[in-house]
């Protein structure tokens, strides 16, 4: 399929039920995804008292988090009379996150708690951020606790990235289950995923990356009313091609998004280069 790269964000194509948008650069991708996320959360808050928002971490999310937590976005809807203003009431939004390393404390600079506390919680007056406790003394009880929190109300919006092996959250090809009965589970991380954390400079060596992690399961992710998945960079081009063109199965867990009508995939020209 031929793609037209546009600086004006628009839906470029659909792969099965998955909407796909392609941008010239990752900054444009992040700003438009932030705009759409804000608009969606605002629409939910017009219909209900509280919205529930699941965030992802990693380098693919940094520009998005900067954009969505900034009062003034560079781009707003054309013709909006609210340009330069934030209309989103963060105090009515409860946050969750997708995954966390097992046995790591919230003060560890590589923990996702640390990442999200500094990039999100410290910047906006949110109602509550429910964190997975990586260093919980009873990991199975922690899965149970977090699952109960997720069950209280539906997830309104879920942010995702895609790992180089096609994982969503930490649902590796070796442990992903499209029909998982659990919402949160403990998984063993593949060496490729652990090495990716080293390459992204979150850990100094492979030996320092935990071997196990908590993760929201595929059904928990897919239960969200809206899913936005952000993938940028040349190093993700091969997995994007596999995700969109190969059969939908656990060999590439991210391929399940092609069955999610509520999902949108955001790509830059680099990650879309093999399509």
The predicted-structure confidence for 122-181, as pLDDT tens digits, reads as follows: 999 999 999 999 999 999 999 999 999 999 999 999 999 999 999 999 999 999 999 999
Q: Which residues of the chain have pLDDT under 50?
A: 1-7, 72-85
pLDDT given at position 84: 40
Q: How many CB atoms lie within 10 A of CB 246?
A: 12
Tracing tokens 């959360």 back to the chain, one arrives at: 41
CA distance 15 to 264: 10
pLDDT at 36: 94
- For 186, the 3-state DSSP assignment is strand
113: Cβ contacts below 8 Å, ≥ 6 apart: 97, 100, 106, 131, 132, 133, 134
Note the pLDDT of residue 9.
52
Q: Domain boundaries in the chain? A: 16-67+91-268
Closest CA to 168 of 139, 149, 193, 143: 193
CATH number belonging to the domain at 16-67+91-268, selected among 3.40.50.1360, 1.20.1250.20, 3.40.30.10, 3.30.200.20: 3.40.50.1360
Cβ contact 116:122 at 8 Å: no
DSSP state of 176: -
Q: Give exposure, 21-31, as e/b (b: 16+ Cβ within 10 Å).
A: bbbeebebbbb
Parallel, antiparallel or unpaired: strands 93-97 and 51-55? parallel
Amino acid 87: pLDDT: 76
Model pTM? 0.91
Give catalytic residues, as residue numbers: 99, 165, 167, 172
pLDDT given at position 77: 40
């Amino acid at each position: 399929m031929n793609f037209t790269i546009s600086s004006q964000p628009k839906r470029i194509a659909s792969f099965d039920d998955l909407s796909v948008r392609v941008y010239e650069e990752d900054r444009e991708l992040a700003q438009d995804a932030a705009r759409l996320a804000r608009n969606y959360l605002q629409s939910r808050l017009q219909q209900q008292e509280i919205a529930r928002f699941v965030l992802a971490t990693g380098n693919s999310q940094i520009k998005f988090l900067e954009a969505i937590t900034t009062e003034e976005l560079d781009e707003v809807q054309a013709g909006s009379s609210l340009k330069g203003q934030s209309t989103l009431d963060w105090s009515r939004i409860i946050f969750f996150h997708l995954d966390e390393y097992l046995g790591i404390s919230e003060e560890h600079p590589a923990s996702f708690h640390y990442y999200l506390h500094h990039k999100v919680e410290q910047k906006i007056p949110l109602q509550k951020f429910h964190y997975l406790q990586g260093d919980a003394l009873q990991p199975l009880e922690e899965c149970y606790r977090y699952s109960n929190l997720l069950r209280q109300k539906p997830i309104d919006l879920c942010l995702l990235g895609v790992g180089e092996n096609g994982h969503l959250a930490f649902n590796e090809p070796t442990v992903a289950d499209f029909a998982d009965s659990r919402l949160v589970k403990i998984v063993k991380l593949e060496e490729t995923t652990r090495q990716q954390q080293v390459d992204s400079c979150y850990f100094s060596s492979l030996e320092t990356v935990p071997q196990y992690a908590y993760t929201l399961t595929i059904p928990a992710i897919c239960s969200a009313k809206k899913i936005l998945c952000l993938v940028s960079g040349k190093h993700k081009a091969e997995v994007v091609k596999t995700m969109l063109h190969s059969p939908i199965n656990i060999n590439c867990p991210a391929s399940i998004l092609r069955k999610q009508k509520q999902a949108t995939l955001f790509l830059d020209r680099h990650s879309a280069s093999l399509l």
